[in-house]
A and B are shown apart, each in its own frame.
Chain A
């Protein structure tokens, strides 16, 4: 209304009015377009900057299995839980470049049985089911008695592996002898063949540990848990802990510094109690190290240091009596 009024007041002709109108329109459009361009550009620019910033923050650097450092977006990360197939493959191969070895210093053992307990709790065993047991030894009537922790000897020439009909028990490249209870048929030929009584059989249903049943974990051949009825189980040198760069359960649990554990290739063993690392060859050489039943040619990977200059006197602990679970 106001425009027409103005036009009439000015007394200009209609044509002039029309031209005037179109110019004003044009100016308006140009201004609008400019504003849009600036705003849009700014938006795109800031968006670009935002995207760029987000991109940098969202990458994560990870070390792959073959030791390559790579970057991957965070949103593409998945929690990895090894499946049975992978656990089996890596469990049977072992850890490359390692030759695990254990040294047991008998002069330090006072039968605390912490090694036994730690092992039984980790591997879900009953109190009378042993991967490692501390035995009372006496070579002859005139020689003193001593305590001897006895794990599997992880022989380099293992009689148990030779006789297994189905490859359920096997020797890994890192020296460990393992048992796969997904494969074991329960013939117990390996028990008959083992000169160290290192193997035990699940004559009845193994104990069910509550935490294990909650998580429903895959069977890990390096931990041999869950245990299975009708199959063999034995000491594993805690292969699962070694994979995580930790010492075996028994070695860490010992309060008396009995166990040394390490890698023969590195020529170094670490004491589980003091965490002191010593040269393996030197330890064996200076301490009169020996292996059990060497005449059998089994070539154990467990060495013993003789019980000389005993730190603790031998005391026959209270007689433990075990009752079989009648489940």
Chain B
């Protein structure tokens, strides 16, 4: 009795057709080279800005003694937040047993890997002495939330990488004989990374067990990374950060920005990779509902975070909230709350809006709103310390990001795109074997009927 999978002619044909659809995009073509060339050129340009920062010090940014955390930290929070979508899709929805997440779970893991990896680099760009990074490991103090953050972000990155790679192994085995005309190094890489996978039932059983363990482990890890990130702020006695709901507030916000990022990504792959058969209109409808759900939860936390202090108006809160509601940051604040949260939720309640193109547009708004929201969370609470700001140059009082720090931030976004591009262009972006398996199950149910 041969206990291998995909050995009947019918199954082979199915694998052939799915593999053909998905491997069509695994190639190094002109578009890929042009796109990577463009990204690299922009990256080099932006890294030049970082070199200037290294040479002259953080004074080239808009940060000063009072607003001493700016765009970099906001961007870091955004990256950690967005990376949480890997856990939401694969673990939470996957473990519940929703089948529609299967074609998009690998894309979700790629987003998780890219954002978690670059989040670490973003933090380094904010350090006054990046050369002393090893000190964090040599002299690390467990009392400091930074240590917790370093630990859990690294763990999350590794778990996400494994969750991307384990289900990829059978695909690599399926694909390695179907890579005609691809560069030799790629074929070789597929051969090595497939670890002589032979589609044995035992192999599948072990892999599925391993994935299941990872899926469970990554849930507390993902909660930890963003809770700890929120604690970077919440552990300080600073008005605007000194909040007990920051952990869940950040986590719910993370699901919003992550889902939006995922929708943008799957729209792109569906159209450019011609994957309409796998990422269907129904997929968009479902993920649209998810976005509505997480946005409503996030809205609920916003209500608590802003309305409760606004009711009491304690001295510090009053100054801070006035700045947000009607002061310097009001235009930004209301744009984010309306354009990035409330209006998208209302629109997505209609089925017509949960089709691919409208959802792409809505998700772009939500994602931009999510980035700016991190800015609003990080920057304004520093502008009004307990004791007055006096005797310093005027430009120290209100934080304005400079061109250089914007460029360094753009560099981090470019890096994310490069990682996503490489992982999605050199490897199958949709799990081939899972698609085939699902087809089989459907066939079996059809047989029974």
**Which A residues are closer than 8 A to B by beta carbons?**
128, 130, 133, 135-137, 150, 159, 162-167, 183-189, 191-193, 195-197, 199-205, 229-231, 292-293, 296, 298, 320-324
Do B392 and A128 touch (CB < 8 A)?
A: yes
B180 within 8 A of A: no
User: A135-B388, A186-B129, A292-B387 given. 14 additional CB < 8 A pairs?
Assistant: A135-B391, A165-B146, A166-B132, A184-B128, A186-B58, A189-B145, A193-B237, A195-B385, A196-B386, A197-B385, A203-B58, A203-B65, A204-B57, A231-B128
Q: Chain B residues with Cβ under 8 A from A163's Cβ?
A: 143-146, 235-236
Do A187 and B126 touch (CB < 8 A)?
A: yes
B window 219-246: CB within 8 A of A: 232-233, 235-238, 241
**Which B residues are closer than 8 A to A by beta carbons?**
56-59, 63-66, 68-69, 126-129, 132-133, 135-136, 138-141, 143-147, 232-233, 235-238, 241, 382, 385-396
Question: CA separation between A322 and B395, bound complex, in Å?
Answer: 10
- What are the nearest 3 A-B pairs in CB distance? A186-B128, A230-B128, A203-B59
Question: CA separation between A136 and B389, bound complex, in Å?
Answer: 10
User: Dominant SS at the B interface?
Assistant: loop
State the Cβ distance, A190 to closest chain B Cβ, in Å. 9
Q: Chain A residues with Cβ under 8 A from B232's Cβ?
A: 189, 192
Q: Chain B residues with Cβ under 8 A from A183's Cβ?
A: 132, 135, 139
Do B237 and A187 touch (CB < 8 A)?
A: no
Do A197 and B141 touch (CB < 8 A)?
A: no
Question: CA separation between A323 and B391, bound complex, in Å?
Answer: 10
Do A191 and B129 touch (CB < 8 A)?
A: no
Question: CA separation between A128 and B391, bound complex, in Å?
Answer: 6
Q: Chain B residues with Cβ under 8 A from A159's Cβ?
A: 236-237
Question: CA separation between A165 and B392, bound complex, in Å?
Answer: 28
A-B contact pairs, 17 of them (CB 8 A): A130-B391, A135-B387, A159-B236, A162-B144, A165-B141, A183-B135, A185-B132, A186-B127, A186-B132, A187-B126, A201-B65, A201-B128, A230-B57, A230-B58, A230-B127, A293-B386, A320-B391
Do B64 and A203 touch (CB < 8 A)?
A: yes
Question: CA separation between A322 and B396, bound complex, in Å?
Answer: 10
Do B133 and A197 touch (CB < 8 A)?
A: no
State the Cβ distance, A2 to closest chain B Cβ, in Å. 98
Known contacts A128-B391, A204-B57; A185/B63 CB under 8 A: no
Q: Chain B residues with Cβ under 8 A from A200's Cβ?
A: 65
Partner of A192, one of B58, B69, B136: B69
Do B135 and A185 touch (CB < 8 A)?
A: yes
Partner of B387, one of A150, A185, A204: A150
Question: CA separation between A189 and B144, bound complex, in Å?
Answer: 9
Question: CA separation between A159 and B241, bound complex, in Å?
Answer: 14
State the Cβ distance, B448 to closest chain A Cβ, in Å. 60
State the Cβ distance, A100 to closest chain B Cβ, in Å. 22
Do B139 and A201 touch (CB < 8 A)?
A: no
Partner of A191, one of B59, B68, B235, B388: B68
Q: Chain A residues with Cβ under 8 A from B241's Cβ?
A: 192
Partner of B57, one of A195, A205, A323: A205
State the Cβ distance, B398 to closest chain A Cβ, in Å. 14
Question: CA separation between A204 and B237, bound complex, in Å?
Answer: 28
Do A322 and B63 touch (CB < 8 A)?
A: no
Q: Chain B residues with Cβ under 8 A from A184's Cβ?
A: 128-129, 132
Known contacts A186-B129, A197-B386, A296-B237; A167/B139 CB under 8 A: yes
